[in-house]
Structure 1
Amino acid sequence: MPPRRTRGIRKKYNHDPLAILDDNSNSDPNNSTSDPLPAAGSPSSDGDFTHSPAAANNASEDDDDDDALPSNASADDGVHSDPDSGPTTTKPPARTRLKPRRLRNAGAGMVQSRKSSHHIPTYPHETRVVTRVYAGPLRRYARYTALRDIMYGPEYHRIRIVWDLDNRFRDWALLPPRRRGANGVTRTPWVPRGFERGEEGRGVAVWEGRRGETDETGERLPGVEGVVALMGPWEGQEEVRFERGEGRALEAKTGGTVVGEGDKMGGWMFDVGGIPLAMAWAPSKGKEAQVLAVAAVPFSDQEPVRNQSVPVPEKLDTEAGWVQFWRIKRGKVEGEKGLALPDSSPPQLATVKFFTWGRPKRLEWCPVPLDAAGLCGVLAVLFGDGRARVLDVGSMDDVAETLYEQVHAPIVTLGNLNAYNVSVTCLTWVNVNRLALGHSDGSITLWSLRPPKLLKRFGTHNNYLIDICSGYPSNPFLLASVPVGGCATVTDLTLPSAESTYFPVPAINFQPHALCWSEQMQGFMALYPSSTPTTTVAFLHHRFPCQARSIITGPNAATCVSAGATHPYVLVGSADGSVYACNALHKLFKQKGEVLKKVRVMEHEYRPAEDDGSSRDEDGGPVRGFVRVLQGFLPEANDDPRTEKRKEVDRKRKLARKKKRGGRGAEEPVEEEEVGSRAVTHEPLTRVTNVAWNPNLEFSCWAAFSMASGLVRVMDLGID
């Protein structure tokens, strides 16, 4: 039969539901998606990949493609066969070249076409090209269609998924919509049906009935003074005092604390009484309240020396630590496909767990809801003694007063490698029974929790690991790790001895919580390496992590990043106390000349109290500091402000040169100004330490921001 011709036929992207193909789907002749993809290097029956001498000559004349001819063919061959014409015939060549064309380096200048997704470029043999150069099919100048097909293709169903996601959120350029379904937030489309239900069943089987040793104890949190916060609109802010363990509900429009009947709630704010180093939402399903875990340390651990006359304690008691669990109730749900709205009741400090293993530094919940096992969840915590421990958190549905518990023995203790001066520095969940740890010597270990066992240890870096993250749920075998000095690396756990790649720009990074996995976009969000204080967050696709794409840039150094689990929106906290948000998927598939926006969600500013104790609130009580919180900012361009200033300076210099030469268009005056702005030093407790999107579907628009002043802000960022 004659070969199938598909050239000139455009595939249609319809909105029919995707079906998971079984093993017998290839027998259906009407199923176009069941055709097997042609293997690289094998003859294909597709007209787009058929190589013949005539087609090669035509391609070289029309497309000027140097790679059109196979390596075993020449331009003088005139023999070709046609199944419909019978015997083989010989024709003169269409055109002969008097001078052979110079072959280009396929890895350095490949033409963007459909073949580039299947073609494996050769390694560059040019001695002037260093080895830290990406020479794959994805190009820096690749735009919307080419970028989508290469990054998410060539499988049609994967291209269709990202096509649908882009169309779903394209009209929402700043913040996610407050609804679910075809035009709102959705569960991950990158896993098969029934995956989440199966993970919940496995999680219940692993953790049901497993408890640690705890007992009730009295309150032992360190006593600190309250903080005064200026809340509400900027032209008429009111003074509100927060005490440790106290929270308030906030009005949505102005962010004030005066809540009346009919007011729309926008979120909450509460004081944890310390510096929150880590924060995470508990996964749940169908709960009336959400649980937020916060790991805080005393202010004395990071207290700067302000007055030389005040004596500094030689040694602090760092053996005690605690984790707070805050319970936040939800309000009504608007419509059948709406999301949960905030409730007018204040947040409640439900439980405080105490430990004697040092200060808690990192914490992460098991990514599967464990409501069927009678647990709020299972929490992995990294402590100051260099070990990671897994704790059970009981149900918090009927908690009337704050419960204080002393934990004597966890479920599992991990990190003992019998190596000198090697401690755990970061952690991440791989699945319900696997935990990956990063160590101070640069190695990564994979642990089984039941039974507790070290499965694998492999060296990825040669210095201290600052952050680690897995691609759960769709790619749990991928681990991204960032060292203090070196390159961000992606490791494949299925073959860790060989399968690893990195972003080829070495950098020095001391900032944790700046690496996260974006499930909707199938890649990692991380700080863009730079020689200056890093202000840009980049996207690294899990198949092309060597080429980073800029997503959002702030005016100050970024301190934390969070990507949504049910939408492609990104939150970035910075050292100046501001939090920015943008649509990362829209930024990735930006058209040339398209202007994109970002929005400042809130701004936090802290001023410390006087050392002599003269700082008082309006009632005369002592305070530890003063806070001002602003919101309601207008959208701004999602571009680097330093780049815009550079363009303006270059434009003025060109006008000056034209005026000096007597040319036209030099009518504007030229002013001497510096390209880079002055560095601004902010108070250490002004910075945003953590940002976190809620991973649960009904609460997808809830986001939590923790500030170094001890305040935590929870906001509903959904747009009607």
Structure 2
Amino acid sequence: MASARRSGRLKGPRAVYTNDPFESAGITDESDSEEQRKSATRKGKRRRGDDSASDDEFVAGEVNDEEEEEEEDEDAADDGNKNGAYNPDDMDEMDMDERVATPMTPRTPGGRSRLNRVQSQQKLLESSGATTRSTKAPTNETRVRGCVDPRENVSKPMHYISTFGDDDRDLLAVIFTRDRWARGVDTCLPTRHTLEIQSTANDYEYGPTWGVAPEEIEKERTSGWDWYYDKVIGAELRKAQSIGPQLKEMDARRKYLPKAKKGKHTILMGPVDDQKVFHLGHHESLNFDQAWGDTKAQKSDRASTKVREGWLISFGQKIQCLAWAPNQDGISQYLAVVTLITPEQKEKHTSHGSEPFSPFRPAPSYPCALQLWEFKGKQAGLVTRTLDMETKPLLRLVLCTDWGDIRRIAWCPMAREKREEDDQNGIKTIGLLAGIWGDGKIRVLDVKLDPGKKTEFVKFQSPVFEAKSPSNVSSCLTWLSPTDIAVGCSDGFVAIWSILPTSDMEPIPYFYKPIHTSYVLSITSAYPTNSHLIATTSIDGETRLWSMINPESENTAPVRQRQAPGHLSYSPILQSVYSYDENDFGRLMPIHKFFATQSAGRMPSAVISLAPCSFFHPSLLFGTAGGEVVATNPFRRLLYSKEQHWQQTWFSHDWAPGLEKDSSGASRFYEAYRAETQSLARNLSGDKRPQLGSSLTTVHDERTHVTALGWNPNRPTAGWACAGMGCGLLRVEDLAI
């Protein structure tokens, strides 16, 4: 019996293909809108049973309900097949012949043809009453919400735009940094050769100025400081500072400096197989050449053939904080160091024990001093200088105060053109130094010294600026401009003051808003690239980037941490904020992609301190609880996420109690580490360290910790770094390779 004849007609409209499906659908920018309307009207009148028109003429247009149902059935069948493939078992012989003779409709990865999607969009517009003839929205009406997922593989241009922004100023600054600091030799520490490179007119316009217009930087360096030299404003500001008569050295050392122990601090330093023993007393210094003098250096581009060049100074008490003075282009560099008095000295104070200590309340007004040390340099190249090892470090100035322990200090980092008024009557101006004292107040000191005297001991009775936020204490600070300071508070608020003189009895902050729910641990400004952006971290584990203009709506935050980092710093070269997390990883957060953190190093122990970022190189320094200081340059991984991560240990420090009763203990230094690659995998499978079956945490003695770090902020000495330990040792070294 002959089989029943089946229709050779397709169930749906026959597809005719052109080079562009959108063009065949009548959706093109070049096509005349009137012709599209007439074509769509004419083609929409045809029906499936109308033999007056050929199926080959049908391209796209309005369809009736029967065609719509057939298209839905056809799409559902196609979507059920992988990659838009069809199933031969579902078609008869005639259908197969028709399919073979007709090219397949190109499919998208989702299995639905682009043409069908366009038809669905048209029907959706028609059902909603829209009369738009084109699916392409005008440029001025385009809306975008969200951003690119950083976990997906994107093109390099899209990666640069999402990381650094699409502004020419940001991109040119990144290209300038890439051409200078992305070489393999600078993967960890800056090289002297790169630091020597002078900026020329052929450089990218915004490169040497970190994306800021050069005229703006020059204006801030010159006219931005006119207020300080003004005969009215500047004079009134300096008049507010009161300094008492110079103190006697014995009285100042006994009251304001930590009491020195009778025994000396034992130092073991030198090659690992031939370390030498030294003994340092209070404020005594050690030249590294004494420990490394017998070791021959390899041929390199260093200014000296010595293996190590640096100084080690004993302070006898934990180094609370330290900072290099900016705007010092001469051979003398000044380092501010803070060491608190001993607990035994605090017990003898009249206000001791009046109330339990709490970081949320003002502390007793213990005496405290800030020490200013001078380090000499010598010319090492056309631009850079290295340490002068023939001149010992000298204590030049001791600033004595009775306002409690000094918790934080920060020099005003803004560039300042040298003027004749800076060195009048034999007095040298060092700069403006801001600090937070134990009584919860922020103060700004105008630091000057007499170069003709060896050591000065001065007592500050009042500063040039003093302020306290209402009903709380200050916890951290950062400079926003030569006249503005942002301060984090113990109740989660952030206050911003102007230090210019006012007629008010007490200075009132012009910005005072809650940013966090609790104690603000650290604060930093995105100066100079985006000075209105401020990053803060709180004890509640939150890290936020917010705008001074509208902090309620213009803010973002990465994933919350269980243990909040106590330090933040912004790098204008990397255009990123860097910090650390509870897993001993360094974190890098670009300001344009702050929510997506990137690993910037893996530390051998918990991170305790960070060095403020330098304006002249992208190297970062992390200080750990185990006594290690790790250096890394994350710029290559910031550009190319698949690059290997390199990091290098500057030195490793161990402390142990001494055998003698009054000894300060013994410290051993391991150094001369080579640069190594480090896996940044956050799971145990990528961890090269041995696993013992459980997660272990090592508790290190507090005197082993690296409590403070700092890069020198001046261009000729940008390679100088300093590190303070919990045992009271200070290490200063030129790290430029």
Superposition TM-score, scaled by structure 2 size: 0.71
String of CA shifts for 1:454-498, please: whole Å, max 9, x gaps. 101111111111111111122211111111013101110122343
- Counterpart code for 1:433: T
Counterpart-to-counterpart distance in 2, 1:698 and 1:457: 38
What is the alpha-carbon distance in structure 1 between the residues aligned to residue 674 and residue 321 of structure 2? 29
Structure 2 residue identity aligned to 1:381: G
Tell whether the 8 Å contact from 1:247 to 1:346 is kept in structure 2 after alignment.
yes
1:430 deviation in Å?
0.7
| 1:320 and 2:367 correspond | yes
| Residues 574 and 94 (structure 1), Cα distance of their counterparts in 2 relative to 1, 3 Å cut | farther
Instruction: Indicate the residue corresponding to 2:259 in structure 1.
Output: 223
Q: Distance in 2 between matches of 1:142 and 1:521?
A: 22
Q: Is 1:518 aligned with 2:518?
A: no
Secondary structure of the residue aligned to 1:280 is strand
Kindly indicate whether the alpha-carbon contact (under 8 Å) linking 1:247 and 1:271 is maintained by their aligned counterparts in 2: yes
Residue 411 of structure 2 corresponds to: 365
Shift of 1:164: 3.0
Mapping of residues 186-201 of structure 1, within 5 Å: 187-201=208-222
The 1:233/1:522 distance shift into structure 2, 3 A limit, reads: same
From 168, 171, 175, the counterpart of 1:163: 175
User: Quick one: which of 529, 535, 556 aligns to 1:480?
Assistant: 535
State the 1:647 CA deviation. Answer: 6.4
Q: Which residue of 2 aligns with 1:413?
A: 466
Tell me which residue corresponds to 2:161: 149
Return the offset for 1:679. 2.5
2:287 to 249, 260, 276: 249
Say if 1:247 and 1:348, in contact at 8 Å, map to a contact too.
no
Partner residue, 1:686? 704
Q: Residues 431 and 275 from structure 1, CA distance in 2 versus in 1: closer, same or farther, beyond 3 angstroms?
A: same
Instruction: Look up the match of 1:356.
Output: 402
Amino acid at match of 1:178: R
SS at match of 1:508: coil
Check conservation: 2:258, 2:342, Cα contact below 8 A: no
Aligned match of 1:307: none
Listed as ranges, the matches of 1:530-541 within 5 Å are: 533-541=582-590
Q: CA deviation at 1:501?
A: 1.6
Q: 2:526 is aligned with what amino acid? A: G
Q: How far, CA to CA, are the matches of 2:645 and 2:595 in structure 1?
A: 25
- Paired positions, count: 572
Question: How far did 1:229 drift?
Answer: 1.2
In the alignment, is the contact (CA less than 8 A) between 1:250 and 1:258 conserved in 2?
A: no
Structure 2: give runs of 5+ residues left out of the alignment. Answer: 1-16, 40-56, 62-70, 80-107, 111-140, 200-206, 230-234, 298-303, 347-351, 358-363, 423-428, 502-506
| 1:137 alignment partner in structure 2 | 148
Distance, in Å, in 1 between the alignment partners of 2:528 and 2:340 is 31
Give the SS at the match of 2:327.
Answer: coil
Query: In 2 relative to 1, CA 627–155 (structure 1 residues): closer, same or farther, beyond 3 Å?
Result: same
Distance 2:434 2:172 in 1: 36
Alignment correspondent of 2:526: 471
Match of 1:205 in 2: 226
Query: Higher helix fraction: Structure 1 or Structure 2?
Result: 2
Instruction: Out of 315-324 and 479-488, give the one that drifted further.
Output: 315-324
**8 A contact 1:605–1:627 mirrored in 2:** yes
Q: How far apart are 1:718 and its partner, in Å?
A: 0.9
Supply the distance in 1 between the matched residues of 2:637 and 2:590 (Cα, whole angstroms). 14
How far the C-alpha of 1:82 sits from its partner, in A, is 2.6
- Residue 550 of structure 2 corresponds to 495
Cα distance, 1:283 vs. partner? Answer: 0.7
Tell me how far apart the structure 2 counterparts of residues 580 and 359 of structure 1 sit (CA, whole Å): 29
CA distance in 1, matches of 2:194, 2:461: 43
Task: Give, in angstroms, the shift of residue 272 of structure 1.
Answer: 2.6
Q: Following TM superposition, by how much is the alpha carbon of 1:409 offset from its aligned partner in structure 2, in angstroms?
A: 0.6
Task: Identify the match of residue 78 of structure 1 among 26, 38, 47.
Answer: 26
Name the structure 2 match of 1:12: none
Question: Does structure 2 conserve the Cα–Cα contact (< 8 Å) formed by 1:350 and 1:399?
Answer: no
Match of 1:22 in 2: none
> What does residue 120 of structure 2 align with?
none
Say whether the 8 Å CA contact 2:396–2:456 is kept in structure 1.
yes
Distance 1:94 1:709 in 2: 81
Please state how far the C-alpha of 1:629 moved relative to its aligned partner. Answer: 1.4
2:445 aligned to which of 370, 391, 396: 391
Q: 1:283 touches 1:696 (CA, 8 Å); kept in 2?
A: yes
The whole-number CA distance in structure 1 between the counterparts of 2:247 and 2:208 is 41
Q: C-alpha displacement at 1:153, in angstroms?
A: 3.4
Question: RMSD value over aligned CA atoms?
Answer: 3.6
Question: Structure 1 residue 333 and structure 2 residue 380: aligned?
Answer: yes
Distance 1:119 1:465, change over 3 A: farther
Work out whether 1:174 is the aligned partner of 2:188: yes
- Which structure carries more strand by proportion? 1
Q: State how far apart, in whole Å, the 2-side matches of 1:200 and 1:503 are.
A: 34
| Deviation by residue 1:564-605 (Cα, 9 ceiling, x = unmatched) | 22111111110000000111111222353x433211011111
Specify which of 303, 318, 331 is matched with residue 288 of structure 1.
331
Instruction: Name the SS for the 1:470 alignment partner.
Output: strand
Q: Which moved more, 1:493-502 or 1:600-609?
A: 493-502
> In structure 1, what residue type is equivalent to 2:457?
Y
- Secondary structure at the aligned position of 1:697 is classed as coil
Change (3 A) 1:426 1:158: closer
CA distance in 2, matches of 1:540, 1:262: 39
Question: CA 1:382–1:634 in structure 2 vs 1: closer, same or farther (change >3 Å)?
Answer: same
CA distance in 2, matches of 1:258, 1:354: 44
CA deviations 1:63-100 (Å, max 9, x no partner) are xxxxxxxxxxxx98415353899987959648999538
Letter of the 2:537 counterpart = V
Relative distance call for 1:499 and 1:235 in structure 2 (3 A) is: same
